[in-house]
Amino acid sequence: MSSFVMKMEIPSGLPNHLHSSNNESSKLYSRRISTNAVSGPRLCLRCSSQLSADQLQIERRSGNYSPSRWDVDFIQSLHSDYKEERHMRRAGELIMQVKMMLNNETGSVRQLELIDELQRLGLSDHFQKEFKEILNSIYLDNKYYKNEETKEERDLYSTALAFRLLREHGFHVAQEVLECFKNEKGDFKPNLVDDTRGLLQLYEASFLLTKGENTLELAREFATKHLQDKLDNKTDDNLSTWIQYSLDIPIHWRIQRANASMWINAYKERPDMDPVLLELAILDLNVVQAQFQDELKQDLGWWRNTSFVEKLPFARDRLVECYFWTTGIVQPRQHTNPRITVGKVNALITTIDDVYDVYGTLEELEQFTEAIRRWDISTIDQLPSYMQLCFLALDNFVNDTAYDVLKKHGFNAIPYLRKSWRDLVEAYLIEAKWYHSAHKPNLEEYLNISWISIGATVILTHAFFGVTPAITKDACDALYGYHDIVRWSAIILRLTDDLGTSLDEVSRGDVPKSIQCYMNDNNASEEEARAHVKWMIGETWKKMNEARVAKDSPFCEDFVGCAVDLGRMAQYMYHYGDGHGIQHPIIHQQMTDCLFHPIA
C-alpha cells in the first residue's frame, strides 16, 4: 500500500494534455453515443445550425434525476420565533454561566471534559478564548503530554482526552506520551481493555495521527477491536451509543454543526447531564437554525432568478442540498455572506457538472470549455441557448462576488475566481473525452484529474475571499497554486463521493470512478476496492492533519477550518450513499432536522 502514497502526489496544476486539439476532439465526436450505456429516457434537441439537412436528432443522456424534494414556497414562508430578542438574551445568560463553569472548575480533567462536551454540542465558537487559556495551561503542565519518565502512572482516559484536544487546537504533542501504556513487547497492555472510557478516548485520539506515527496506528487497531467486542456485548446502553457513534465516524472526521442534534439527543440520556449545558445547546441550535433559514431563502431567491429549473430540466434541482453543504463548510456563525455565496457556488457546480456528465455533446462541451477559457461574452452566440444561460449566470455570479471582494478589501479577485472555474471545466472536458472514447483510466490517471473535477477547489477559493479578514497576493498565489490544505480536502471529497455515488454514476454510463479504476488495475473485487479507497481516505487525513497546523501556512484560521470541514462534510453527506444527487432517506431526515425542525 505504501507504494500508492508515492503515486498519489498531485501536480500543482492540471496536466499538459488538458488542452487537447480540436482535431482530436472532432474524431471523438464522430462516434455516436452508445445507447447501451445509458439508462432511462432520452432528451432530444434539434439544433438547426449544426444538423444536416435531414434534421437528425441529437441523442442525449439522461441522469434520471428526481425533482427537488423540498417545497420552496413553504421554505420561503418560514418564520422562526428564535430570531426574537428574548431568546438571544437567554442564550447570553446561559453562555455566561458556562464560562463561569469553565473558569471555576479546579480539576483539569473536568475542564477537558467540558471542552469536549461543548464542542460536540455545537457550542465551541462561544468559548474559544476560554478553551485556549485552559488548553495552554494544560500544555504547560507535564502531566498529560510531556515525553518524559514520571513516577506517577498516567490515566489512559485523561491522557488520551488531553492528547486529542491539544492536537485538535494546534498544540504539538508527541505520540510518545502513549508509550507508558504499552508493554515490553511494544503492544498496548491487555488490562487497558477494562477501561472502556479510556479505550474510547484512545480510539478517538488515534485519528489525529500524521504519517509515520506507528504508535497511533497501533492504538487505533487495538481500540477498534476491543470497542467492537464491547459493542457486541452491551453492558451500558448509554456508553454503547457513544461507542457506536465513534466506530461509525470518529469525532475528528465528524462535522460539528450538522451532528449537534444527534449529540444533544444522546446527551439528554446521560445520567451526568448538566441542565445548563443542555438548555444552551438546544436554544443555540434553534437560534442558528433560524439564521440558516434566512440564508437559505436568499439562495433560493437567486436560484429562482437563474431559471435553471425551467430552462435546464436535465440538471439536478438541488439548491437546498447545495446550501446545506455550506452549513458544514463555513461553520462560524458570523460568516453569513460566505455561506450564501458558497451555496450558489455549489448550485452552479452541480448544474455545470450535469451539462458535462449528462446533456452536452462533445462538440458543445468543447465550445463551452473554450468560452470559459477565453471568458469572452462576445463569443457566446456560438453556443446553444442552454449553454448561453449557464455562461451568463456564471459570469454574473463571478462579477458580483468580485465586486463584493473589491468593496470590502480593495482587491480585484476576478482573475483568481475565473481561474478556478477554468480549471474545473478543463477537468470536466477531459472526463467527457474519456467517456466518449470509452477510455478507462487507471487510478493514478483518474485521481490526477478527478481531484479538480470534484469542485472542491472552486468551493474553497470562493470561501477564501469570504472568510479571510485581510487578503494578500501571497495568500492568493498559494491558494491558486492549490496549496496542500486545498488538495487534501479535495481528495477526501473525491474519494468519499466515489464511495457514495460511483455505482449510480457508472450505471448511467459515466467514466469509471476510483473504485472501478482500482478493480480494473488490480483485478480486485468491489469489496477490496472499497477497502482500498477507505484506506486512501485515511492516508489523506494524515496529510490533512499535518497541513492544518503547519506553522508556515499563509491562511487564516477560519479558512483552514473551511478546508478541513469540507472533508468532514463530505464524509457526512456520502456516509449512507449519495446524499446530494439522490439523497438517501437518512440524510434527508438529517437535513430536515438541521434546517427546519427546532428541538423542543
Position 238 scores a pLDDT of 75
Domain that holds residue 396: 2-31+43-70+307-595
In a domain, 300, yes or no: no
Residue range 537-549: mean pLDDT, rounded: 97
The verdict on 105 and 236 lying in the same domain is yes
pLDDT of 278 > 50? The answer is yes
Q: What is the SS3 string spanning 337-355?
A: HHHHHHHHHHHHHHHHHHH
Position 144 scores a pLDDT of 59
Residue pLDDT, tens place only, 131-168? 999 999 999 886 655 655 443 567 999 999 999 999 99
503 — pLDDT class (breaks 50, 70, 90): low
pLDDT of 294 > 50? The answer is yes
Which of the listed residues 247, 282, 317 is the one where a domain comes to its end? Answer: 282
The verdict on 58 and 107 lying in the same domain is no
pLDDT of 2 > 60? The answer is no
The verdict on 330 and 276 lying in the same domain is no
Residue range 236-255: mean pLDDT, rounded: 90
Position 19 scores a pLDDT of 38
Alpha-carbon torsion, ordered 365, 367, 368, 371, to 10 deg = 160
pLDDT of 544 > 90? The answer is yes
The domain that holds 433 is classified in CATH as 1.10.600.10
The verdict on 258 and 358 lying in the same domain is no
In a domain, 291, yes or no: no
The label of the residue with cell 498544540 reads 171
Residue range 374-397: mean pLDDT, rounded: 95
Who has greater pLDDT, 507 or 514?
514
- Rounded to an integer, what distance in angstroms lies between the CA atom of residue 412 and that of residue 402? 7
Residue range 37-59: mean pLDDT, rounded: 38
Determine which of 38-47, 114-123, 202-211, 585-594 has the lowest per-residue pLDDT on average: 38-47
Who has greater pLDDT, 508 or 568?
568
In a domain, 288, yes or no: no
DSSP per-residue codes, 448-516 = HHHHHHTSHHHHHHHHHHHH-SS--HHHHHHHHTT-HHHHHHHHHHHHHHHHHHHHHHHHTTPPP-HHH
360: nearest Cα among 383, 327, 329: 383
pLDDT of 507 > 70? The answer is no
Determine which of 34-43, 118-127, 514-523 has the lowest per-residue pLDDT on average: 34-43
Residue range 221-238: mean pLDDT, rounded: 86
* Number of separate domains in the chain: 2
Residue pLDDT, tens place only, 410-451? 999 999 999 999 999 999 999 999 999 999 999 999 999 999
31: nearest Cα among 507, 363, 387: 363
Cβ atoms within 10 Å, residue 258: 25
The verdict on 95 and 19 lying in the same domain is no
The verdict on 327 and 355 lying in the same domain is yes
Residue pLDDT, tens place only, 55-80? 236 777 776 788 898 999 999 999 99
Position 90 scores a pLDDT of 97
pLDDT of 364 > 80? The answer is yes
Identify how many contiguous H helices and E strands the chain contains and give both numbers.
26, 2
188: nearest Cα among 144, 198, 248, 1: 198
